[in-house]
Structure 1
Amino acid sequence: MGIKILKGFILGLIANAIGTYLYVVVFTAYEFEDAIRSGYQEGFLGKLIVLGAVFNLVLFFFFLTGKLGNFIKPIQHYEARGVLMATIVAAIAGFIFNFMV
């Protein structure tokens, strides 16, 4: 059980990183490294992290329903819990970077 939650948590963090990267590449004119540096200096790094967490939504519902297009697998409740925990960590990190730093 704990390993499954950890698997979901790690996959949630990876999905968040991929979502942040895709957002920066597709919707901004910055390079990824420049966007992270500018985000930290100008105070919008928290917003980038939270926007990247939107990608966790797909992963969360994939684990709960077991379906992604024609790909079907058994429902994985514990992995979905891990993804939810990673999303909460991303929200807390976004809050900290927006209001504390």
Structure 2
Amino acid sequence: MKKEILIGFIVGVIATAFGLILALQIFGKSNDWGIVIRQAISENFLTKLMSIGALLNLGVFFLFLKKNQDHRAKGVLIATVLVLISTMIIKFLN
């Protein structure tokens, strides 16, 4: 059971990372991710990009639920909550 939750958590983190990269490519004004991230930090929209990146977790979550892999879906949910907490921390620190 713990292994299944861990697998779901890792899949959730990877999906969030891919979503963030996709958001950087779509909304960034440069092909260099470092420049786009620095711009996002200076213009205070990094948290918005992180939130958009976490949207891929929604698809993964429902995919796991459809396949009756509830523990993996729980891991994805934990990863999403972790993204939420880190987004809120970044938002309030700026």
Relative to the length of structure 1, the TM-score reads 0.83
Separation in 2 of the partners of 1:49 and 1:58?
16
Name the one with the larger helix percent.
2
What is the CA deviation profile of residues 21-73 of structure 1, one whole-angstrom value per residue up to 9, with x for unaligned ones?
0111123323322121222333322221111000100100000012xxxxxxx
Q: CA RMSD in A?
A: 1.3
Separation in 2 of the partners of 1:96 and 1:44?
14
Q: Which amino acid aligns with 1:47?
A: K
Q: Measure how far apart 1:90 and its partner are.
A: 0.6
Displacement over 4 Å in runs of 4+: none
Segments of 5+ residues of structure 1 without an aligned counterpart are: 67-74
> 1:18 touches 1:52 (CA, 8 Å); kept in 2?
yes
1:16-55, aligned counterparts within 5 Å? Answer: 16-31=16-31, 32-55=33-56
Structure 1 residues 43 and 27, CA, compared in 2 at 3 Å: closer, same or farther? closer
Separation in 2 of the partners of 1:85 and 1:50?
15
Question: What SS does the corresponding residue of 1:96 show, helix, strand or coil?
Answer: helix
Q: Measure how far apart 1:97 and its partner are.
A: 1.0
**Number of equivalences:** 93
Relative to the length of structure 2, the TM-score reads 0.89
* Residue matched to 1:82: 75
